[in-house]
Amino acid sequence: MSIFINKKTKLIVQGITGRDGSFHAKSMKDYGTNIVAGVTPGKGGSKVNGIPVFNTVEDAVAKTKANTSVIYVPPAFAVDAIYEAVDAGIKLVVCITEGVPANEMMKAYKYVKENNSRLIGPNCPGLISPGQSKVGIMPGSIVKKGNIGVVSRSGTLTYEAIWALTSAGMGQTSCVG
């Protein structure tokens, strides 16, 4: 049983037209993640790797019924991206961006909680449910479907724990870093 994400997850990628956003959107899509849209202001109407791009999260959610967002934007814009996702009704926000100002994040965490959403990150590798979906930058090649959950505050230690389990023949249900 996976937590947070599965095959039914409808993901949007905020910052999809940037270098990191487009690279990891392709990786997530190749893994089998159901990416329904990307968001980059001023780029609405275009496509990245076959994924439609919208100008706002609100527009993307209205058209696709997305329930999860992953954020690949520069630190100065990450908190606004979190607010935008929550305001559009996204229930799970994953912020990959590192270097987000701590004072701003304290306000963002409070806002997310008050609006009954969840936030993973910032500065995290995301999460993966083996064989179902991945949101973020975790390598899909190190996981194996099974019945062990992995949760860590360290991206690198998350990978090490997953690889140790997989190497020992033990699979995972969900991995959150």
User: Per the domain annotation, does 89 fall within a domain?
Assistant: yes
Determine the structural domain holding residue 50 and report its residue range.
11-124
User: Per the domain annotation, does 162 fall within a domain?
Assistant: no
User: Per the domain annotation, does 6 fall within a domain?
Assistant: no
Report pLDDT for 155: 85
Spatial distance between the Cα atoms of 108 and 121, rounded to a whole number of angstroms: 11
State the total domains in the chain.
1
For residue 28, count other CB atoms closer than 10 A to its CB: 26
pTM for this prediction:
0.95
Dihedral sign from CA coordinates of 3, 35, 15, 22: positive
Q: How far from chain centre, in Å, is Cα 175?
A: 12
Asked if the model's pLDDT at residue 99 lies above 90, the reply is yes
Average pLDDT, the chain: 97
Average pLDDT (134-145) is: 97
Q: How confident is the model at residue 2 (pLDDT cuts 50, 70, 90)?
A: confident
Asked if the model's pLDDT at residue 92 lies above 80, the reply is yes
Asked if the model's pLDDT at residue 154 lies above 90, the reply is no
Report pLDDT for 116: 97
User: Per the domain annotation, does 4 fall within a domain?
Assistant: no
Asked if the model's pLDDT at residue 1 lies above 80, the reply is no
- Note the pLDDT tens digit of each residue in 59-91: 999 999 999 999 999 999 999 999 999 999 999
User: Per the domain annotation, does 60 fall within a domain?
Assistant: yes
User: Per the domain annotation, does 22 fall within a domain?
Assistant: yes
DSSP-H helix ranges across 52-130: 57-64, 75-87, 102-114
User: Per the domain annotation, does 68 fall within a domain?
Assistant: yes
Exposure string over 109-145, b if 16+ CB within 10 A, otherwise e: eebbeeeebebbbbebbbbbbbbbbbbbbbebebbbe
